[in-house]
A and B are shown apart, each in its own frame.
Chain A
Amino acid sequence: MNILVFVESADGKVKKNSLEAVAYAHAMGGNVTAIALGNVDKADLGSLGTYGAKKVLHAADAKLNQGIIQAYASVIAKAFQDENADVLVLADSSLGTPVAARIAAKLDASLASNVVALPDTTAGFVVKRSIFTGKAFARVELTKPKKVIGIKKNAAVVSQVGSPCAVTPYAVPLAETDFATTITSSEKATGEVLLPEANIVVSGGRGMKGPEHWGMLEELAKTLHAATGCSKPVSDMGWRPHHEHVGQTGVKVAPQLYIAVGISGAIQHLAGVNSSKCIVVINKDPEAPFFKAADYGIVGDAFDILPKLNEAIKAAR
């Protein structure tokens, strides 16, 4: 089986979720080729060999420095054909998921996003995917000869299985029509832990009373090397930026630890956090529904508990 992995990058570095995609492909067994587009650090690409890639294709054309959905789909679909690939694996993301859809249409491939575990190939090619926004799973058979798989965070364990591999330049003719969208600018939080990739998330709700109190949450997040998140009303009111909004209509997180402070635990919020390994809830109302979805709970005032918790964690480290 030939497996192609689309490796995403940010600021010239391979993204962490793409390492999971390489690890996933390696664990499937078969011949793993990775492809990266635009400006990416060569050494970083070579190190993909450590996680299971046999070789890395690098389409370094400067026109690919920006993630244009159509152009990325064309280049990756071409590589899929050139490499005689059977399966494309990528990490679901704001770029990966829409790109996967176009590639599947180009290749007439079976498509599954939100895949949470390795395929079961004992009879057919069956993947387990998350559905109903984390409330259930479906085992679906991918029946076409070509397959495109988008994986969710934690679908594979990243481990060192080899040594750095060769990075081969991959030259493709780029069609002008694939660049019909132009990215004029972007805004990005820098130096912080990104919410979708974070291993620990500290999240605040309306119980935090106002944006001026977020310093407390940020302190705790800093101590834990965590990302900060929030409930929908908090981003609706502009207390926090929209990309921090967790839930049904926001970011779906899957950290090791999710700490919810002053969030009631509405079912739509829970839909975004139910893939967390461990949930801690801090709420002054003992009847808050979030406690039912929690592993650990503290009933109390956030403003009293947050500083104490921060000190206790600092002391324990």
Chain B
Amino acid sequence: MKILVCISHVPDTTSKINFTDNNTKFDSNGVQFIIGPYDDYALARAVELKEASGASVTVLNVGLGDTEPTLRKALAIGADDAVRVNAEPADSFFVAKQIAEHARSVGYDLILMGRESIDYNGGAVHGIVGELLGIPSVSPVMKLDIEGTKAKLAREIEGGKEYLEVNLPFVAGCQEPIAEWKIPNMRGIMSARTKPLKVVEPVAVDSGIKLRQFELPPPKGAVKMIPADNVQELVSLLKSEAKVL
């Protein structure tokens, strides 16, 4: 079985977000980049499937050269080889088109990604890839088991979950608790250095989105502290001041 895992290279979840150039560019100064947390779940599940049944795991990122350490980390976690599509990820459609192009040329049985990126939060790439390849897409997937040519999935819905069955190949947007995040060990890190990382050029896509400007939310006002023995005051503030009761 051939598994493709799509990896986004995103600011660490603790990053402070800032913009430069009159709020038109993301300020990556001092920002640590990580594998998208949802993509990390997808990768962990792929590596589990590999360990259980001998699947091969390829990781792919659409990004410029600075994303290679992130791909190497995915290799250290257990992927066999990596592909970087050498382009700035312009929008969901652009990224999906590159993934679909690569997937078509190889022919994967399973394409795993995160339910959404944590930079743009599109929640779209899996659906678009599914559509471009003409195969099912399911998201957000919290459980995935393969039985022969069939998969059994659980998908989170508002207030519960839904169990599904689907034949391979398909695309899944993953989230917890599909697997536990894996931390690379020393052997993984060593072997990642020599695992193949192929760089391919992008296909042309006309993007449907143009950034005008970024914006930060207004700063939060100061917190009003209320003594623990006076919850009545809290209730009256919630009623008369915040007007939320």
Which residues of A approach B to under 8 Å, CB–CB?
Answer: 10, 67, 69-70, 73, 92-95, 97-102, 104-106, 108-114, 126, 128, 130-144, 177, 180-189, 192, 194-197, 200, 224, 236, 241-243, 248-249, 256-257, 267-268, 271, 274, 277-278, 280-281, 291-301, 304-305, 308-309, 312-313, 316-317
B236 at the interface (CB under 8 A from A): yes
- CB <8 Å contact, A249 and B175: yes
- Return chain B residues, CB-CB under 8 Å to A304: 228
Bound complex: CA A276 to CA B217 (Å): 12
Question: Which of B198-212 touch A at CB < 8 Å?
Answer: 207-212
Inter-subunit contact B155/A136 (CB<8 Å): no
Q: Is B217 touching A102 in the complex (CB atoms < 8 A)?
A: no
Contact A243 B160 (CB under 8 A): yes
Task: Flag if A141 contacts B228 (CB, 8 Å).
Answer: no
Q: Which residues of B contact A99 (CB under 8 A)?
A: 127
Instruction: Contacts A200-B244, A278-B242, A294-B223 given; indicate if A242 touches B177 (C-beta within 8 A).
Output: yes
Question: CB of B147 within 8 A of chain A?
Answer: no
Task: Please pick, from B120, B124, B208, B244, the residue contacting A142 in the complex, using a CB distance under 8 A.
Answer: B208
Q: Are A312 and B212 CB-contacts (below 8 A) given A132-B17, A195-B158?
A: no
> Which B residues touch A271, using CB under 8 A?
13
Q: Per-residue 0/1 for B100-125: is the Cβ within 8 Å of any A Cβ (1 yes, 0 no)?
A: 00000000000000000011111111
Check B238–A101 contact: CB distance below 8 A.
no
Asked if residues A101 and B163 are in contact (CB atoms below 8 Å), the reply is: no
Determine the chain B residues whose CB is within 8 A of the CB of A67 once the complex forms: 157, 162
**Contact between chains at B208 and A111 (CB < 8 Å):** yes
Residues of chain A with a CB closer than 8 A to B215's CB: 128, 136-139
- Known A-B contacts A133-B121, A248-B13, A312-B235; the reply to A101 vs B131 at CB < 8 A is yes
A130 B121 Cβ-Cβ under 8 A: yes
Q: A70-B136, A104-B93 are in contact. Are A278 and B238 (CB under 8 A)?
A: yes
CA of A203 to CA of B235, assembled, Å = 17
| Chain A residues within 8 Å of B176, by CB | 236, 242, 249
A317 to B235, alpha carbons, bound, how many Å?
10
Residue among B131, B135, B208, B212 making CB contact with A144, cutoff 8 Å: B208
A/B interface sample: 11 pairs, CB < 8 A: A69-B138, A109-B208, A111-B92, A131-B119, A136-B217, A142-B209, A182-B165, A271-B13, A277-B242, A296-B237, A308-B231
CB distance from B23 to the nearest CB of A (A): 9
Query: Which chain B positions have C-beta within 8 A of A299?
Result: 225, 228
- Name B97's closest neighbour in chain A (CB-CB): A105
Most buried by A among B19, B124, B130: B124
In the complex, are the beta carbons of B37 and A257 less than 8 A apart?
no
What total count of A-B pairs have CB within 8 Å?
A: 268
Residues of chain B at the chain A interface (Cβ within 8 Å)? 11, 13-14, 17, 19, 37-38, 92-93, 96, 118-128, 130-132, 134-140, 142, 155-167, 170, 173, 175-177, 207-217, 220-221, 223-228, 231-232, 234-239, 242, 244-245
Beta-carbon nearest neighbor of A306 in chain B: B231
Closest-CB distance, B131 to chain A (whole angstroms):
4
Contact yes or no, A94 B136, CB < 8 A: no
Q: Give CA–CA (A4, B47) in the complex, Å.
A: 42
* Chain A interface, DSSP helix/strand/loop, else mixed: mixed
Contact A113 B122, CB 8 Å, known A142-B209, A296-B223: yes
User: How many whole Å from A125's CB to the nearest CB in chain B?
Assistant: 10
Interchain residue pairs A-B with the least CB separation, the first 6? A101-B127, A300-B228, A110-B208, A188-B160, A105-B131, A101-B124
Whether A100 lies near B226 (C-beta < 8 A) is no
- Expressed in whole angstroms, the Cα–Cα distance for A317 and B238 within the complex equals 12
Do residues B235 and A102 form an inter-chain contact, with CB atoms below 8 A? no
Contacts of A257 in B (CB 8 A): 238, 242, 244-245
- A194 / chain B contacts, CB cutoff of 8 Å: 158-159
The distance in angstroms between the C-alpha atoms of A309 and B237, with both chains bound, is: 13
A136-B214 CB under 8 A given contacts A187-B160, A242-B176: yes
Query: Are the CB atoms of A102 and B231 closer together than 8 Å?
Result: no
Cβ B228 vs Cβ A312 within 8 A:
no
Q: Given contacts A102-B130, A192-B159, A278-B244, list 6 more A-B pairs with CB under 8 A.
A: A106-B131, A139-B214, A181-B165, A195-B158, A277-B242, A298-B234
Chain B residue contacts of A139, Cβ below 8 A? 211-215
Q: How far is the CA of A69 from the CA of B131 in the complex (A)?
A: 11
Quote the shortest CB–CB distance from B18 to chain A (angstroms): 9
* Nearest CB of B to A262, in Å: 14
> CA A181 – CA B151 in complex, angstroms?
10
- Chain B residues with CB under 8 Å of A132's CB are 11, 17, 118-119, 121
Whole-angstrom distance between the Cβ of A200 and the nearest chain B Cβ = 7
**Residues on A with beta carbons closer than 8 Å to the beta carbon of B17:** 132, 135-136
Question: What residues of A have a CB within 8 angstroms of the CB of B132 in the complex?
Answer: 105
Q: Who on chain A is nearest to B208 by CB? A: A110
**Docked-complex contact B142 and A242, CB < 8 angstroms:** yes
Give the docked Cα–Cα distance between A226 and B99 (Å).
42
Knowing A181-B136, A184-B164, A316-B236 touch, does A295 contact B221 (C-beta < 8 A)? yes
